[in-house]
Chains A and B, each alone.
Chain A
Amino acid sequence: MHAMDSHAGWFLENVWIIPLVAAVSFLAILFVGKRLPERATAGIGILAVAICLVLSGGVAVQWIDRTNHPPEVGHATTGAGHGGTEEAPADEEGGHAPGALSAGESAAAPVVGAAEGEAHESVPPVVKELTWFQIGGIEFKAGTLTDGLTAMMLVVVSTISLLVHVYSREYLHGDVRFTHYYAFLSLFTASMLFYVVSSNTLQMLVGWELVGLCSFALIGHWWEDKSNSDAALKAFLTNRVGDTGLIVGVVVTFFAAGATSFGVLHLNEYALSPEANQTLLLVGGLCLFAGVTSKSGQFPLHTWLPDAMAGPTPVSALIHAATMVVAGVYLIARLYAVFFEGLNIQFNSINYIALIGAITVVGGAALAFVQHDLKKVLAYSTISQLGYMVMGLGVGAWTAGVFHLFTHAFFKAGLFLGAGSVSHAAHHTFDMRKMGGLRKHMPSTYRTFLICTAALMGIFPLAGFWSKDEVLAGAQQGQQQGYTLMLVMGVIGALLTAAYMTRAIYYTFFGEYRGEGHPHESPKIMTIPLWVLAFGGLTFGLLNLPKAFQIDGVIEYTTRFEHYVEPTFLFPEVEHPEFSLPLALVSTALALLGIALAYQYYWLERSPLKGLSARQPFTAGYTLLANKYYLDTLYTDIVVGTTKGPIARASYWVNQHVIDAVVDAAGAISVAVGRVVYRDIDQKVVDGLVNGSGAGAEESGEVLRHIQTGKVQQYGAILFAGAAVLAAVFVIAV
């Protein structure tokens, strides 16, 4: 057993095992799954993810322990230096980072929260790396970086993945590609876990692309239907647009930070150092944000996410609600120093990330009103909620954004799985016009759906209330000044969220059943995951109670999430928003107003808003929404259309008239030149030389053949004569 950092436990040191377990499960299912019964295939996947969950739990527990008893800086240095087993030189990063802390304490000042009274000691993350490859004397590392954010993501991903694995056992029962489905589910889990434990941006890029691939494969799971494979392609291609930016961003940040390491800690350290080039950070940050825009469904590259609902519903819950789409949010959170310094979040009242987030909040929520497909309502809701997360990070409220990611993962996965359960009952349709009245038929699904919806709307005291309110408080208070525009849009988003979810609930669970057959409650294997997620949506907000709620003797632990998850090491100094009672009341009141308006509109059908969409000034709005802001039209008809149409014709003309002329001229000139060369140079000069050398060889051979008599003694005589001459020359000359 090698010497370890005595404070970093086994789980923190060996997080690499977690993605490996899922990857092994992928290979096992891929190679032997076909020959096994469904139960065994699903069993492999469920077992592997359960192991991942246990290990992730171990990581979380040990991280909490490490935060409670932070290693002393000097000790951490020696510990990390010893930490390497076979990767002794590779531990440089780990040994280097705490060293940089002691050196850069005055410059970077990674101690956060000291201003708030609670002693937030700097807890260095656990880094384990070995050399991946070497180019030009630079060693590129691959490894794991474990801190609170990683631990939180590990737990979220494994939990949701486990529930989805269990749920899919029934949902995908009897599917043609059951094995394929489980294999990709495992691969996705492995890739996502790999992504969150990555210690450098290059590795994150690999994980990022892998989850994209799994998303593509799973959206197109039922590819026999053309629209499904189209949706998969659309998701893939839209993501490529952003990924280009991501790659450029990775390269820009790499070169900005001295072109020595892709390490996350290295980049953050550089961004926080006084010699950082703010322009480069801004460019790098915006390029990285292009990747976030596509992966996390931000305006205007969100269009793939609703179409991605073509995949099986558990996949939508896992990939397109809880985990993969938050990869972008995670990227911002991971490289927060780059964004914080690059976009100057501290001193601004508006910046690109916060603005895009805010637009996404309102834009996504508005689009959810005109959908008839339950899953698409949820998809636009996801877009809108992702907007909240990005907005939270954009205004400097790191914890709020990440906390919203955490709570949203549970209640939104619950909503998606609930929608799947509904569809399972209502003959595999997601069209809300063919549902209705399911409240009586599916009590479990109804109750969990209601709880998760309330959490999403931000009803006190469910999870969404706390996290959304924290984002809004962050926007209100900002860093040096408030982000007022974002606050207003965020509050409007809260109102819209409540209203469209009321509409969805009304269509799905109330009124009379409008579909075919007799709906029935789903089996326990599907409802148990629903209850688990509903429990999360109900209570997980309490993990980060604001400080104002601290009552001695009753509620001792507030801001636990912030305390354990927020990095304190190489992290910008962020101000934490205070809980604001008026803001909480306003946002709750608006949510209730949204519910009331929707209730009046849909239940009582005597709303002052009745016929709104038919009235003249508003039809245009409705049409705009129904056509999804014409973004798809913009992309397919204008961007792709012009590329195919006029641009294609123009390029054909250029091809025919310019390029062909050039080619023809070049051809004619080469022919003329070729003739001259043939006649004068080739025939006369080259052939002359060749023939001359041949003739010369022949003539000299004719002379010299007389010497070669075949008589050995003659040769010997010549040899001795030559030797005698040389000896004579030697004697005379020396």
Chain B
Amino acid sequence: MTIKYNNVYVEDAYTVCGPYENDGPLSNYFDKKHEKDLYFGEKSLEKAEVHLLKEANKNILSKNKLKEDDVDLLISGDLQNQITSSNYMARDFDIPYLGIFEACSTIAEGLILGSTFIEGKNAKKVIVSTASHNMAEEKQFRNPTEYGAPKKKTTTFTATGGVSILLSNKKSKVKIESTTIGKVKDLGIKDVNNMGAAMAPAAASVIYNHLKDTNRDPNYYDLIVTGDLGIYGKEILKDYLKDKYNITLGVNYNDCGTMLYDLDNQPVFAGASGPVCSALVTFGYIYKEMLKGKYKKVLVVPTGALFSQTFVFQKESIPSIANAISLEAI
């Protein structure tokens, strides 16, 4: 399902990153960088993730001289069980709140909802935010953070950061042109250390549907980026798109997971993942380059693996989702 918008703009975005992202190639694009450790002065890893969300949302308000009353809706999601980071962030904001979850595609779900509220004239200003935290997520999904076990090459590294996006009906330089809501796909991949393979079919499906609904071909966009498929998932997507939908992605295709870190010199295996991965790359790097005029039309396809440890241990395969957001510089 593709929705077209005539009246939805990205008024501003605020990005916060952690030390690993600060050491990566996109460091200069982030607004606030935590260079030292992963606690940011908080006592626990989970509280540190709440900190990231609060920091991004507080700063986007102050940077744009907005009061909480000026914002009609706050939409937020993260990877913690019961999206607790977003919930604990929201208790500090006097703004109507929607908590959402689509794993690492959460930011896309938020943008779709926010844009639709604005286009339908139910809201004028909406904040969409998401965060992830490398060690908080490791603790929940894998082993204790200090536990060292040899890892597979296809493993991804959860990015640390918080991103807040201010959507508005007020005209600005970048608009949300259209969005496509994805379908949940599961081709039977069970390996949680190969999430790129699990998520590629969902990305392929939504890219196909977006191009079909809008009657475009991949070259229409200056840049098409998927969320966090990683080095190997990226190649799987290209082959699968060609094989199943006869779509060829060219040099204008990239994956946020392979852009956030220096893959040769940082210990990140197949690349970055986590809800904030695509958000940091899109609203740190791509958005700022759109303002400068480097990119005009960009299709962002955040990808999410919708599994829990319980279902993985019960030998279920991994269902995945991807949504497409078309951004246009005016």
A binds B: no
Instruction: Show the binding face of A for B, using Cβ within 8 Å.
Output: none
List chain B positions with a Cβ less than 8 A from chain A.
none
